[in-house]
Amino acid sequence: MKQPMLAVLATLAMTQTGAAQDGFYYGIGIGITDSETFSDAVSTFTADGRDYSIALTAGYRFATGTPLSFGIEGNLDALTGNTMADPSGREACDNASPTWCEVDTVLRLRGTVSGLLANGSRLMASAGPVVVSGRAEEHNSSFKATRGDGMSLGLSWENANDAFPVRIDLNVDRIRNDNLPPFSRTLDMVGLRASYMF
């Protein structure tokens, strides 16, 4: 992941055309997320699923007088809670494995670096912690509300046109810790969001 992030930063530095503006921004949109979950307890079972969400964004960008600007941003995705399943269709919440069953909410808080491209649009890279809530299998016939945390990386492109300021986000979230013992489980998510920015 370090090499793609360095490539993004290099692109931002080379394509900057003017001083970035500072200030608050926020947006509302829709998203689609592909998730995959696994537990070492049952190595033969891996479940995945696709879910849809309402996507909220809020952040602050600091002007630096340099080609790049830095900031802080929060994302909230409220998902529909679709249950994940293995390739044969067996649901994760069916005593198959102590994996995640579904994800309901994703909250990200990330540092950002961004710059204006030659065409006036904005490219931004971000990284920081992520927290998710949903449901996971504790053991046979026991499925509990679960909270997990991990790391998130993002890449965004925004049309800086005041008439229609739309933004596209690609997010990669890796959840490796949760509050449901005794088994360990992983959750990997890749999401695409489209937001109208204010």
Domain ranges of the chain: 2-197
What per-residue confidence (pLDDT) applies to 65? 76
In this predicted structure, the answer to whether residue 1 has a pLDDT above a threshold of 60 is: no
What per-residue confidence (pLDDT) applies to 74? 98
Q: Cα separation of 192 and 91, whole Å?
A: 24
What per-residue confidence (pLDDT) applies to 5? 45
Q: Cα separation of 52 and 189, whole Å?
A: 12
Pair of tokens at residue 159: 């049309």
Q: Cα separation of 179 and 95, whole Å?
A: 19
Q: pLDDT of 8-45, one tens digit each? A: 444 434 433 334 457 999 999 999 999 999 999 999 99
Q: Tell the residue number behind the tokens 């509990």, with chain if given.
A: 144
Q: Does 9 or 157 have the greater pLDDT score?
A: 157
Q: Cα separation of 109 and 72, whole Å?
A: 7
Q: Does 18 or 132 have the greater pLDDT score?
A: 132
Pair of tokens at residue 55: 């996507």
What per-residue confidence (pLDDT) applies to 21? 55
Query: 148 near 165, Cβ under 8 Å?
Result: no
Pair of tokens at residue 111: 């540092």
Q: Does 164 or 12 have the greater pLDDT score?
A: 164
Extended beta strands in 8-68, E state: 23-38, 46-62
Tell me the average pLDDT of the chain: 88
Q: Within 13 Å and on the Cβ side, how many CA atoms surround 196?
A: 2
Q: What fold, for 2-197?
A: Porin (2.40.160)
Distances (CA, A) of 108 to 84, 85, 119, 120: 22, 25, 29, 27
Nearest to 194 by CA among 26, 55, 35, 52: 55
